[in-house]
Amino acid sequence: MKLFVRTTLIILFPFLVLLVWVRIMLFPIFVQVEYQRPGFPPDEFGFTTQERIHWAEISANYLLSGEGPNYFSQFTLPGGSPLYNEREMKHMADVHDLVQKGMLLLVIIAAIYLLGGAFLFWKDRASLWKTLSTAGMAGFALLLTVLIVVALAWNWAFVTFHEVFFNGGTWMFPYSDTLIRLFPETFWQDGFATAVVGMLATCLLTWFAATKIPGWIAWRGKSPAAKG
């Protein structure tokens, strides 16, 4: 049983880290920093930086909400045109469904981790630290390999991702559409780079903590101060 739990936690760790960082990237802070960073391409059709931030935050909030596909019908641009056309709203609904499934999967994996971690903590704490250490280093190696491949073949990876998760060409839009104006390719490249750094740092931090904490606990237990 202990081996099964350890193996399960190690296998699930990269997925846990990935989904955690998907959720982190949906916090408003990334959008606010990204649009205001030097060198971010301006919208050639007229959105100001603040307008981009405003509409992008509304879009991100929708992805995490329980709203239906007609959510964006209530929003119009200053000229009276809708924020998103029908094709854009359909794509946003598809992304919404994907994000919702991802967040549900995150909850399930997190619950498995809590239960598995509690089991190992109760049965064999040394095994728990060893599991987390292995998960951190194995996760780092796996994610680094995948992310290098993606970085070297960005266009292929970007297209393949969309073709796998979305039907046909429903994810392709003219440059004049709001979705592209709010989220140009640079936005996704920077988001990918930010998530990469975050995921790799999370793996290394997990490995470091799981490696060092047992020794620190043992040292505390032997020190005169700890014994009173």
Pick the residue with more confidence: 222 or 25? 25
Neighbours of 180 (CB within 10 A): 17
Residue 142 in tokens = 């796996």
Q: So what's the pLDDT on residue 218?
A: 60
Asked if residue 228 has pLDDT above 60, the reply is no
Which residues fall within 8 angstroms of residue 89, CB to CB, at 6 or more apart? 69, 70, 72, 73
pLDDT at 131 over 90: yes
The shares of helix, strand and coil residues in the chain, as percent rounded to the nearest 5, are: 80, 0, 20
Q: Which of 42-46, 99-103, 155-159, 168-172 has the highest mean pLDDT?
A: 99-103
Q: What is the DSSP letter of 167?
A: -
Look up tokens 């959720």; give the residue: 23
Q: CB count, 10 Å around CB of 84?
A: 23
- How does pLDDT run across 148-192, given as a tens digit for each residue? 988 899 999 999 999 999 987 889 999 999 999 999 999 999 999
Q: Is the pLDDT of residue 92 over 60?
A: yes
In this prediction, residue 217 carries a pLDDT of 66
Residue pair 144/136 in contact by the 8 Å Cβ criterion: no
pLDDT band at residue 221 under the 50/70/90 scheme: low
2 pLDDT band, cuts 50/70/90, is confident
Other CB atoms within a 10 A radius of the CB of residue 6 amount to 21
* Closest among 206, 153, 187 to 59, alpha carbons compared: 187
pLDDT, average across residues 131-135:
95
pLDDT digits (tens, 9 = 90+) for 7-39: 999 999 999 999 999 999 999 999 999 999 999
Distance CA 17, CA 139 (A): 9
**Chain CA centroid to CA 39, Å:** 24
Residue 99 and residue 36: Cα distance in Å, rounded?
25
